[in-house]
Amino acid sequence: MEHTGQTSPLGNHTTLVEFILIGFSHVPNLQGFLFGVFFIIYIVILMGNSLIITITKVDPSLQTPMYFFLGNFSFLEICYVSVTLPRLLADLCRQNRSISFVTCALQMYIFLTFGATECLILTAMAYDRYVAICNPLMYTVIMNHRLCVQLAAVCWIIGILVPIVLIYEIFTLPFCKSNELNHFFCDVPPVVQLACGDTSMTETLIYVLTTSIISVPFGLVLGSYGKIISTILKLPSATGRAKAFSTCSSHLMVVTLFYGSGIIVYMEPKSTHSSGMDKYLSLFYTILIPMFNPLIYCLRNKDVTMAMGKFLKKWTVS
């Protein structure tokens, strides 16, 4: 366990030079098994989301706002998982699991950027479904290509800018406790737990940003789906109701899993945090949900399933 007298790159107080990512080192006999499981999951995530990106670009029937946002979301999923999973795979193969202070800050910033952007893209997708079902006659006018690009750009800009304040606030705290991080990547709660002194300001900022980026969008999504469901129930055709439910239920399932796990981890007070529990919850929203997303969207969406079938048939024949 190493303490140093060097100053933080982001502040003037004495701090640690590096953290040690404990990860899953407490189960040494399972390192090989875990590597195999996580490696397969990573390949599935890369292939599944890459396939969705490809078909939403090349299939003429999927050139709609809904699939424009789905392509964006799949790209984000690849980036989001690639911030943490390759590092976890490398750590499962080596003894030295140290991560420098600067690298830790950078990993946290990139992870939060992609996570925040995903939250906002999911909200844009909910708005698209709201307009499509609740105002179908004006759908093509409202959800034109220019608005879709603008919405996606706003999501990315907010996602890039918002975490900067939080990263500065966290990494200017003094770290004089243990440098062992009971996690497999530099996530916000376990890093803040290692800080010395008063962290109430940091915790307040975490709460405010979590409310802004996770809770408020989640509320907007639920509100949109409340309107969507009431509109669907009024449709005269049973076939129409079934089709509308099938296209919306997959998105609502992804939204609930993603937002729910994020709210549990980031809005829980520091005093009640269990770093061990956070680690396993993080596995859920950083690895498992991104693995299931392509399956949820493909298996529950006939348009995507048909487009994927055509693409794979064409690719295998050629």
- 10 domain-assigned: no
CA–CA gap between residue 247 and residue 303 (Å, rounded): 9
pLDDT at residue 4, as a whole number: 44
pLDDT at residue 13, as a whole number: 46
State the number of CA atoms in the 13 A half-sphere of 206 facing the CB.
24
Among 202, 129, 139, smallest CA distance to 172 is for 202
- 190 domain-assigned: yes
CB 261 within 8 A of CB 143: no
CA–CA gap between residue 230 and residue 246 (Å, rounded): 15
Among 102, 141, 74, smallest CA distance to 15 is for 102
- 13 domain-assigned: no
CB 301 within 8 A of CB 246: yes
Task: Check which CATH number belongs to the domain holding 28 and give it.
Answer: 1.20.1070.10
- Please, what is the Cα angle at 191 between 84 and 275, to 5 degrees? 85
Count the domains in the chain: 1
- 224 domain-assigned: yes
- 181 domain-assigned: yes
- Alpha helices of the chain — where are they, by DSSP H? 31-58, 65-82, 85-91, 101-134, 139-142, 145-171, 188-193, 200-210, 216-233, 238-266, 275-283, 289-299, 302-317
What is the domain range of residue 284? 18-317
Spell out the residues 6+ positions from residue 61 whose beta carbon is closer than 8 angstroms to its own. 303, 306, 307
- 1 domain-assigned: no
State the number of CA atoms in the 13 A half-sphere of 299 facing the CB.
7
Profile the chain (318 residues) by mean pLDDT over runs of 10 residues.
46 64 86 93 92 86 88 93 94 88 95 94 91 90 94 96 94 85 90 87 90 88 88 77 71 80 74 65 84 74 75 72
Among 122, 128, 151, smallest CA distance to 140 is for 128
- Distance linking the first and last C-alpha atoms of the chain: 57
Which tokens belong to 144? 């034109």
- 160 domain-assigned: yes
- 6 domain-assigned: no
